[in-house]
Structure 1
Amino acid sequence: MDSVTDTGPAEVYERAFVPALFAQWGPILAEAAGVVPGARVLDVGCGTGAATTAAARSAQPGGRVIGLDPNADMLAVARRKPGIEWVEGRAETLPFPDASFDSVMSQFAIMFFDDRVAALREMARVLAPGGRMAVAVCGALEASPGYRVLAALLDRLFGRDVGDAFREPFVLGSREALQALAAGAELPRATVTERVGSVRFDSIADLVATERACVWTLGGLLDDDQFARLRDAAENELRPFAQDDRIAFDMPALILTAHL
């Protein structure tokens, strides 16, 4: 089995996705959420803790940081990181009293919540007066050239259903979509800003193998023969983004902030 995918999804996320994509956003999101030394911070949909650890650094000395996620396997990996409280729970029913946190943040998770508006309302509920919320989502697929090419390749090889499964993380990638959610949740002083980050994998093969292992998109959709076809085709289609055997391209994010 491919070295990228020979462990569980949580390990793949931590070992492959975090360094390639997610680690860069933690400090940006912590700043957007107004995390300062001594702050009480909640990271909703924390996964293995990429953003939570950045918030914990910003909250020291004296801060209290909690990471919450519904996935026990993700939390098992997250619990290797000391100095943070890890809680299993759902964004739509946060297990905390009103006004418990100075900063609430969520990084690339709300796209997968069952009820996005309810989750935003819950984040606002647990935010203390004067606090700040920051929620990051993937920007438009069209603005992420490597992923745009990969989505089109999946359409061509396996049909639109598979391509659309890959597109799922990008469904909130417009200002209008986020503003509509904020309005539905009645968030005060909500704004949406765009920041441009990057995707960087050691090789095209690593990128494709990692995406295949992602349970939120392609996980379980491709058999071994289909994966081999995708990997071979991607070597040609993604070659314009190769740099010294690595692959890199821009990926913007939208950050929704609200202030109480």
Structure 2
Amino acid sequence: MPGAIPASSSRLLDLVFPGDTNHHGTLFGGAGLALMDRIAFIAATRHGRVPFVTASVDRVDFQAPARVGELVELVARVSRVGRTSMTVEVEMVAEGLVSGERRLCTRGSFSMVAVPEGKTPGWCLPPLADMREPPGHGTCTSDIVFADQANSSGRMFGGEALAAMTKAAFVAATRHGRCITVLAASERVDFRAPVAVGSIVDTVATVARVGRSSMTVAVELWSEDLTSGTRTCTANGRFVMVAVDRQDRPVPVGGHETVDKLS
């Protein structure tokens, strides 16, 4: 099932753009911490299914920089559960999109406290289960929909959904070919349901077709209610990505035979 993520683990992918960096061209520590806090919140909410707040950042170790143009992958796992609080461990790894080189940048521990509404006295969080990572299904990233991404009805803008989907298509295609890719076309995007502010959104991208210099990436956008866990496929689309050189000329997708997974 696309996006079937265990409650004890969540993943966020992002790209380091120039506006996220300092004068050295590396990711601001504060920007990295903000991403870590977001994925820690998602992991905590998926475990407890109640609202959470960050009580403390117990320790953060900055071991290596993430540079502009690199991908950062953050993985959060719930490591300890108390009556109304839990500890979430977060790691941030930088990845060179073309080289595929990966290095651990930052590791941190976040204390999250539940703020349940309408729960009976004596309520407590569910115990930590022994869950394993599910089999991989494309490139999946989780995030939260904030108010500045929504229209006046409190629903996610279609443009914000498209931005998330095209970013996921870029990451999936670049990881597949290990070459620079650009968006050539959007074949079709269907919006199936609205996404409310405060929802978790999972973007799942799978390389479905590879030609000589182009790749077609199928992308699904799933929304998840914070408290109920109800999941809905809210949009799906197909995007054509083209491999290019430094002069933006099409080049063969390196080392991959032509495949076709589309119906």
Q: Calculate the TM-score normalised by the size of structure 2.
A: 0.30
If each structure's helix is expressed as a fraction of its own residues, which one has the higher value? 1
Tell which structure's C-alpha radius of gyration is larger.
2
Q: Using CA pairs under 8 Å that are at least 6 residues apart, name the structure with larger relative contact order, 1 or 2.
A: 1
Q: Calculate the TM-score normalised by the size of structure 1.
A: 0.30
